[in-house]
């Protein structure tokens, strides 16, 4: 089972949108409206800064460095796992499922965030964007990251499903012939997940666990045959 990170497993508690706002303002750059800031959670940061905030190419590295410094010093500690998520992961792990993270956050930061939140040991692997954030702009959304997770565990599962909160998760899953279960507590706009083809949309951790168990039963695989 593959999980997105921010907006799915962990509530950034404003650390992402607030951090982006602070980094832009400190550089004398326009700060997007609240709705646009929320749309920036999910895609690679370099893409969001360029395409949504309109940061000039020559200033992207500067803004990213400022944002990352604040996120590492304060933002990760402000974040919290969503209610019930830790229990869901523990139950899936106890049942023998393979669990992996597939996020567009730079992989070293994803690993550190999971460690800070006490979730790292619940996952078999973590897959993210390159540490060089400019290189992340060349990725084809979530497709490459999800594929990396599938390749990492090739031969150890019969079926897999993605869990995420944005259209990027649905698209990346579909590009790898996977279903995506959407979570309503993240950063998707109203109706976004349904419109983009999520197999189901859940509203609580309990509903998520039930839907994942339904998926396993529908696929007819054992826990050990599912990612």
Q: Which residue has the higher pLDDT, 219 or 54?
A: 54
What pLDDT digit, counting tens, does each position of 192-205 carry?
999 999 999 999 99
Query: What pLDDT, on the 0 to 100 scale, is given for residue 137?
Result: 58
pLDDT by residue (tens digit) across 117-167? Answer: 999 999 999 999 988 766 665 567 799 999 999 999 998 888 899 999 999
Token pair of 131 as six digits: 């540490």
Give the chain's mean pLDDT: 92
10 Å Cβ neighbour count for 74?
12
Which H or E element spans position 138?
none
Q: Which residues of 141-177 are buried (b: 16+ CB within 10 A; e: fewer)?
A: bbbbbbbebbeeeeeebebbbbbbbbbbbbbbbbebe
**CATH entry, 15-78, from 3.40.50.720, 3.40.50.300, 3.40.640.10, 1.10.150.240:** 1.10.150.240
CA quadruple 27, 32, 33, 39: dihedral sign? negative
In the chain, where the domains are located: 2-11+80-225, 15-78
* Average pLDDT, integer, range 101-116: 94
Q: Is the pLDDT of residue 221 over 80?
A: no
Topology (CATH level 3) of domain 2-11+80-225: Rossmann fold (3.40.50)
Six-digit token pair at 110? 């994803």
pLDDT band, very low/low/confident/very high, at 74 (cuts 50, 70, 90): confident
Place of tokens 């949108």: 17
Predicted pLDDT of residue 136: 60
- Rounded Cα–Cα distance for residues 161 and 198 (Å): 11
Task: Give the other-Cβ count within 10 Å of 110's Cβ.
Answer: 23
CB 169 within 8 A of CB 4: yes
Q: What is the structure's pLDDT at 16?
A: 87
């Amino acid at each position: 089972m593959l999980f997105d990170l921010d907006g799915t497993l962990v509530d950034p508690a404003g650390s992402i949108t607030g951090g982006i706002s602070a980094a832009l303002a400190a550089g004398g750059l326009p700060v997007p409206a609240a709705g646009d800031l929320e749309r920036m959670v999910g895609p690679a940061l370099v893409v969001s800064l360029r395409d949504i905030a309109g940061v000039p190419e020559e200033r992207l590295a500067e803004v990213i460095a400022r944002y990352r410094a604040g996120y590492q010093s304060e933002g990760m500690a402000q974040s919290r796992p969503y209610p019930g998520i830790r229990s869901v992961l523990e139950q899936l792990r106890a049942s023998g499922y393979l669990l992996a993270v597939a996020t567009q956050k730079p992989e070293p930061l994803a690993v550190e965030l999971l460690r800070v939140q006490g979730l790292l040991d619940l996952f078999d692997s973590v897959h993210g964007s390159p540490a060089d954030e400019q290189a992340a702009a060349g990725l084809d959304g979530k497709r490459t990251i999800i594929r990396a997770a599938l390749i990492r565990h090739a031969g150890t599962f019969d079926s897999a499903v993605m869990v995420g909160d944005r259209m990027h998760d649905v698209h990346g899953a579909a590009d790898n012939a996977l279903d995506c279960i959407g979570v309503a507590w993240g950063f998707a706009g109203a109706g976004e997940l349904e419109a983009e083809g999520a197999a189901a949309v859940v509203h609580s951790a309990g509903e998520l666990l039930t839907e994942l168990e339904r998926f396993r039963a529908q696929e007819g695989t054992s826990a050990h045959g599912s990612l």
